[in-house]
Amino acid sequence: MTAPRILVVLDGAAEPIWPWPSTLEAAQMPALDALCDRGAVARVATTPPGLPPGSEVGIPTLLGARLASAPGRGPIEAAAADVTVPEGAGVWRVDVHHHDGRRAVTAEAMLVARDLAAALPDHDVRHLKGHRFLAVGAERPEVEVVASLVVVVWDDGEALAPVLDRRTVVVAAPGAAAGCGRLLGAQVVTPAGATGDVGSDLWAKTRAALAALRDGADAVVLHVGGADEAAHHRDKVGKRAMLEAADADVIRPLARAAADVGGAIAVTSDHATCVETGRHHADPVPAVLAAPAVAPAGAVRLHERLAERSAVWDGPFALLGALR
């Protein structure tokens, strides 16, 4: 029987290198430091050349998909939310932003929800969370502004084809990770309390991951979205707090579980999100792999400055497949 493999994806945890410390560099993450001490630290190219950085690209790439173009975000969100798209219809992710690029918060999005639905009478419009909506209809939504907010309709894109099976379990809140996992063929578990934001119940995700391992899963992917959400709101304190919480509530118990059964664990990001600007970046992101067959190598901590000269594991880099 193959030893289990665990992948922890800290969404948007990485950042560009500035003269001052990044959030990963400043955060106190002793469990992650311990993994670096006994594992191999390098960088992962989660964004193939020419593609935009984002979870819809980075997560499939980490899981082994070979992307020629960016996947459509609408089908991913529909899969995550268990929304059935009627035959002949399309589905689009629709975001509401402030004019300066900041994402609307949930309260603001809810205030304009009726206005957005009224502007798209031929679509079934539903609020997902935060600034995100989903629109299902025959034609691409055409709307630019609602109330005082800018409306952004995501482009169509590549369809994700299955590369996994149900022996891989993805533990995630409703959103990109859950949708990508489902479209790629994995089993998806969304525990109660998992929101994908800074208030997400990380212990609930860890319990679900441990349960999947006990039930015989070959691989478990646990996605933590709160650091990315904090970075988009340019909240340095919130991003650091989320990373430190993930270290205590996710990485520590899962690293112990992997070590107890001779399994492998990897921790990385799906892309970088700059907490100064709130924008995604396509630079390779730091990653650590720890397993009985992996010799310690590379940086002693997992952050951008120390990993800058480390080897780059090119995509599609299937962290899970590499440890079979």
Q: What pLDDT score does 198 carry?
A: 86
Other C-beta atoms lying within 10 Å of the C-beta of residue 297: 12
Looking at 195-199, 227-231, 280-284, which range is the least confident one?
Answer: 195-199
Encoded amino acid at 211, one letter: A
Encoded amino acid at 82, one letter: D
Distance CA 311, CA 324 (A): 21
Distance CA 284, CA 135 (A): 33
In sequence order, what E strands does the chain have?
Answer: 5-10, 40-44, 90-97, 124-129, 132-137, 145-146, 149-153, 168-171, 187-189, 219-224, 264-268, 272-273, 280-281, 285-290, 312-313
Helix (H, G, I), strand (E, B) or coil at 232: helix
Give me the sheet containing 145-146, strands edge to edge.
124-129, 132-137, 90-97, 149-153, 145-146
Q: What pLDDT score does 196 carry?
A: 86
Helix (H, G, I), strand (E, B) or coil at 236: helix
Which stretch of DSSP H or E encloses residue 244? Answer: helix 236-246
Q: What pLDDT score does 1 carry?
A: 57
Q: What is the mean pLDDT of the chain?
A: 93
Distance CA 140, CA 119 (A): 13
| pLDDT over threshold 70, residue 124 | yes
pLDDT digits (tens, 9 = 90+) for 147-169: 999 999 999 999 999 999 999 99
> Average pLDDT for residues 121-140, to the nearest whole number?
96
> Average pLDDT for residues 69-88, to the nearest whole number?
96
Chain Cα centroid distance, residue 51 = 16
Encoded amino acid at 214, one letter: R
Distance CA 58, CA 68 (A): 13
Please state whether the peptide bond connecting residue 4 to the residue before it is cis, i.e. omega within 30 degrees of 0: no
Please state whether the peptide bond connecting residue 52 to the residue before it is cis, i.e. omega within 30 degrees of 0: no
Encoded amino acid at 235, one letter: D
Q: Count Cβ neighbours within 10 Å for each residue of 165-203 and write b for 16 or more, e otherwise.
A: eeebbbbbbbbbbbbbbbbbbbbbbbbeebbbbbebebe
Encoded amino acid at 15, one letter: E
Q: Dihedral through CA 31, CA 283, CA 62, CA 312, nearest 10?
A: -80
To which residue do tokens 């992101």 refer?
A: 285
Distance CA 298, CA 42 (A): 6
Q: Which residues, in sequence order, are bridge partners of residue 149?
A: 146
Q: What pLDDT score does 317 carry?
A: 43
| pLDDT over threshold 60, residue 98 | yes
Q: Measured at the alpha carbon of residue 268, what is the angle toward residues 309 and 134, in degrees to the nearest 5?
A: 130
Give the CA diameter of the chain.
59
The model carries a pTM of 0.94
| pLDDT over threshold 70, residue 321 | no
